[in-house]
């Protein structure tokens, strides 16, 4: 599983002396790693937001933009992608093509201190391969937009550097940056125009055209450069009242939810996690004593649990703070305590617990124990013919509450122990309640029809 918060992993950091064919003795510094969205690489600073390129004009001179690509303006907007496969946040040449040429007009002659290019993709579209040309525009035969059949050097351009950030091992995926500078801190030259002659990272791979995220041009005239800020980590830790459990809330990617979590969500967690642990014990089982709550704005479902971690959809939560947010969290804590994943570690031939049981238990907890006042899982008489015990979520929650209150008050412990140990089977219902599952279903539906399964 990929983790976007993985520690910065530096693979290449090299200064390559320019060859004699280059006009200036340029240095190319390379950076490559798996950092967060802000390109926090060890060798090259994050992208600038007020560099000379922000006001420059970018033009496609040769080659074709991919249909999925963003416009060229994405290269100097001071913004970078938030993930490693975001076509709409990058510029890239069309699939299967051999790249092309991009011209940059800075509007005036500029003493260029460095040119920095940033790219990001999880595969072969990550690395960068290009030649950088520069021109003052003063040459008699100057051509501001030379196609690929023309050697730029023959029409007034200097070759400044050849950049290649490909790595030997792996597919090269990750964040890449290249910085072109002169020796000893001197400027590269006084130039108004730049030309990027871009090649794919592999001539045979149709997906080898680099996802370029940002291009910066730093002038020695200033201004003082401002850079994208690397997000401050917001990780808070809480303890249960009795000190047995620790809860970690990571709102780095949703700072706006930090305060709400602290004031509103943590009290619910502190009250309910120990209750759920007590509700669902089994022999030799210890529920996770550290639970991590991670806000992530990029996931699809409202929330999901894996082991001791609950991932919360930051966008969905922001819209549900006074509605479903807390209840959804209680439901996910139910999964952490259930720990049915454990069955395969403790049982050689674990029987799978059906999904309607797993989800029904967590919705029973949520709608009948945590927030019965919401009346979220009641079933009116008209529903009797339409529902079954295994409809999952809140319908099964209603069924489980009926079994608990009318047949077996210890059902939760028994059902969860069976799931956790990989021993769930339909025959257990008769053992626990004296009735088979179909018999229970019929009786429950009669209770619904009689108006006894609404939530008052
Ligand atoms: Zn669930």
Domain boundaries, the chain: 9-219, 235-449
User: Identical fold at 9-219 and 235-449?
Assistant: no
Ligand 1 geometric centre to CA of 361 (Å): 9
Distance 332 CA to ligand 1 centre (A): 6
Instruction: Please state whether the peptide bond connecting residue 301 to the residue before it is cis, i.e. omega within 30 degrees of 0.
Output: no
Please give the distance, rounded to the nearest whole angstrom, from the Cα atom of residue 344 to the centre of ligand 1.
19
282-319, pLDDT tens digit by residue? 999 999 999 999 999 888 899 999 989 999 999 999 99
Q: 348: CA distance to ligand 1 center in Å?
A: 25
Q: Which two tokens stand for residue 80?
A: 């970078």
Task: Give the tokens for residue 253.
Answer: 């990617």
How far is ligand 1, taken at its centre, from the CA of residue 335, in Å?
7
CA–centroid distance for 71 within its chain: 23
Expressed in angstroms and rounded, the spacing between residue 199 Cα and the centre of ligand 1 is 47
Give the whole-angstrom CA distance, residue 406 versus residue 117: 68
Helix, strand, coil percent content, the chain, rounded in steps of 5:
30, 25, 45
Mean pLDDT of 136-156: 97
Tell me: pLDDT of 418 over 60: yes
Question: DSSP labels for 145-194?
Answer: S--TTS-GGGGT-EEEEEEE---SSTT--EEEEEEEEEGGG--SEEEEEE
Mean pLDDT value of segment 140-167: 96
Task: Say how many Å lie between the CA of residue 219 and the centre of ligand 1.
Answer: 54
| Mean pLDDT within 264-285 | 96
* Pairing assessment for the beta strands 129-135 and 158-164 based on DSSP bridges: antiparallel
Rounded to whole angstroms, the Cα distance separating 16 from 338 reads 56
Q: How far is the CA of 121 from the centre of ligand 1 (A)?
A: 32
Rounded to the nearest angstrom, the distance between the alpha carbon of 235 and the centre of ligand 1 is 25
CA 436 to centroid of ligand 1, rounded, Å: 25
Q: How far is the CA of 279 from the centre of ligand 1 (A)?
A: 17
- Ligand 1 midpoint to CA 274 (Å): 19
**Phi and psi at residue 121, in whole multiples of 5°?**
-160, 150
* Residue 324 alpha carbon to ligand 1 centre in Å: 14
Which residue shows structure tokens 């994050």? 46
Q: What is the mean pLDDT of residues 352-381?
A: 97
CA of 192 from ligand 1 middle (Å) equals 59
Burial 263-285 (b: 16+ CB within 10 A, else e): eebbebbeebbbebbebbebeeb
**What percentage of the chain exceeds 70 in pLDDT?**
94
Q: Output the CA 362–ligand 1 centroid distance in Å.
A: 6
Distance 305 CA to ligand 1 centre (A): 8
pLDDT of residue 364: 98
Which CATH fold would you assign to the domain 9-219? Jelly Rolls (2.60.120)
81 — pLDDT class (breaks 50, 70, 90): confident
- How many CB atoms lie under 10 A from the CB of residue 35? 24
Q: Could you identify the residue written with the tokens 């020796």?
A: 183
Which structure tokens are listed for 335? 């999964």
Q: How large is the C-alpha radius of gyration of the chain?
A: 30
Q: How far apart are CA 236 and CA 252, in angstroms?
A: 10
Q: How far is CA 391 from CA 46, 258, 451, in A?
A: 51, 36, 19
Q: 158-164 and 212-219 as β-strands: parallel, antiparallel, unpaired?
A: unpaired
**pTM, 2 dp:** 0.60
Query: For the chain, how far is it from start to end, CA to CA, in angstroms?
Result: 45
Tell how far the Cα of 450 is from the centroid of ligand 1, in angstroms. Answer: 29
Tell me the pairing of strands 15-17 and 26-33: antiparallel
CA of 366 to the centre of ligand 1 (A): 11
User: Angle 390-394-397 (CA atoms, 0-180°, nearest 5)?
Assistant: 70
Q: Please check whether residue 227 is in contact with residue 47, taking contact to mean a CB–CB distance below 8 angstroms.
A: yes
User: How many Å lie between the centroid of ligand 1 and the Cα of residue 438?
Assistant: 24
What pLDDT does 168 receive? 85
CA of 425 to the centre of ligand 1 (A): 20
* Cα of 353 from ligand 1 centre, angstroms: 13
Query: Residue 120 above 70 pLDDT?
Result: yes
What pLDDT score does 90 carry? Answer: 96
User: Which pair of tokens denotes residue 165?
Assistant: 């950030």
pLDDT at position 42 over 90: no
For 286-308, letters b (16+ CB in 10 Å) and e give: ebbeebbbbbbeebeebbebeee
pLDDT more than 90, % of the chain? 78
Task: Output DSSP code: residue 326.
Answer: H
**How far is ligand 1, taken at its centre, from the CA of residue 190, in Å?**
62
Question: Locate tokens 């800020």: which residue?
Answer: 229
Residue 333 Cα to ligand 1 middle (Å): 9
pLDDT at position 23 is 52
Q: What pLDDT does residue 2 have?
A: 34
pLDDT at 142 over 50: yes
Three-class secondary structure of residue 32 per DSSP: strand
CA of 186 to the centre of ligand 1 (A): 60
Compute, in angstroms, the gap from residue 356 CA to the centroid of ligand 1.
Answer: 10
Strands of the sheet containing 309-313, edge to edge, are: 235-239, 246-250, 290-296, 309-313, 303-306
Per-residue model confidence (pLDDT) at position 25? 63
Neighbours of 73 (CB within 10 A): 10
**pLDDT tens digits, one per residue of 216-260:** 999 999 899 999 887 778 999 999 988 999 999 999 889 999 999
User: What number is the average pLDDT over the span 19-29?
Assistant: 61
- CA–CA gap between residue 160 and residue 363 (Å, rounded): 64
Q: CATH top-level class for 235-449?
A: mainly alpha
Q: How far is the CA of 303 from the centre of ligand 1 (A)?
A: 8
Measured in Å, residue 371 CA sits from the centre of ligand 1 at 16
Expressed in angstroms and rounded, the spacing between residue 48 Cα and the centre of ligand 1 is 43
* Length of the chain measured in residues: 456
DSSP 3-state assignment of 395?
Answer: helix
Kindly give the distance from the C-alpha atom of residue 88 to the centroid of ligand 1, in angstroms, as a whole number: 32
> At 320, is the secondary structure helix, strand, or coil?
helix
Q: Cβ neighbours of residue 81 under 8 Å, at least 6 residues apart?
A: 37, 89, 90, 120, 211, 213
250 CA from centroid of ligand 1 (Å): 21
Residue 179 and residue 12 in contact, taking contact as beta carbons nearer than 8 Å: no
């Amino acid at each position: 599983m990929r983790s976007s918060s993985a520690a910065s992993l530096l693979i290449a950091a090299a200064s390559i002396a320019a060859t004699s064919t280059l006009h200036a003795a340029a240095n190319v510094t390379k950076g490559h790693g798996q950092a967060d969205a802000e390109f926090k690489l060890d060798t090259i600073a994050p992208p600038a937001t007020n560099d000379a390129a922000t006001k420059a004009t970018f033009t496609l001179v040769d080659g074709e933009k991919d249909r999925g690509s963003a416009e060229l303006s994405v290269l100097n907007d001071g913004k970078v992608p938030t993930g490693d496969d975001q076509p709409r946040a990058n510029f890239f040449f069309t699939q299967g093509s051999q790249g092309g040429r991009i011209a940059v007009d800075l509007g005036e002659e500029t003493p260029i201190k460095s040119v920095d290019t940033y790219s990001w993709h999880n595969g072969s579209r990550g690395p960068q391969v290009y030649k950088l040309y520069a021109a003052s525009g003063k040459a008699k035969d100057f051509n501001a937009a030379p196609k690929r059949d023309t050697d730029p050097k023959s029409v007034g351009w200097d070759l400044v550097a050849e950049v290649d950030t490909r790595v030997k091992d792996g597919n090269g995926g990750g964040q890449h940056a290249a910085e072109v500078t002169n020796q000893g801190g001197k400027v590269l030259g006084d130039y108004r125009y730049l030309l990027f002659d871009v090649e794919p990272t592999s001539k045979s791979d149709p997906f080898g055209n680099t996802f370029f995220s940002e291009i910066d041009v730093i002038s020695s005239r200033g201004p003082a450069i401002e850079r994208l800020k690397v997000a401050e980590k917001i990780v808070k830790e809480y303890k249960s009242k009795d000190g047995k459990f620790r809860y970690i809330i990571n709102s780095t990617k949703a700072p706006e939810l930090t305060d709400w979590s602290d004031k509103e969500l943590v009290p619910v967690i502190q009250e309910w996690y120990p209750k759920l642990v007590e509700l669902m014990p089994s022999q030799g089982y210890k529920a996770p004593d550290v639970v991590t709550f991670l806000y992530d704005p990029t996931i699809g479902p409202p929330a999901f649990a894996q082991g001791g971690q609950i991932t919360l959809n930051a966008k969905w939560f922001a819209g549900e703070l006074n509605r479903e947010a807390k209840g959804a969290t209680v439901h996910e804590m139910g999964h952490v305590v259930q720990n049915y994943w454990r069955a395969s570690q403790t049982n050689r031939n674990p029987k799978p617990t059906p999904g309607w049981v797993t989800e029904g238990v967590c919705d029973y907890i949520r709608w009948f124990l945590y927030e019965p006042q919401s009346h979220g899982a009641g079933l009116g008489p008209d529903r009797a013919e339409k529902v079954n015990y295994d409809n999952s979520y809140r319908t099964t929650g209603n069924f489980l509450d009926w079994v608990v209150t009318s047949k077996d008050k210890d059902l939760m412990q028994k059902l969860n122990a069976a799931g956790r140990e990989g021993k769930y089977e339909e025959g257990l219902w008769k053992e626990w309640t004296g009735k088979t599952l179909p018999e229970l279903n019929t009786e429950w539906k009669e209770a619904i029809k009689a108006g006894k399964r609404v939530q008052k």
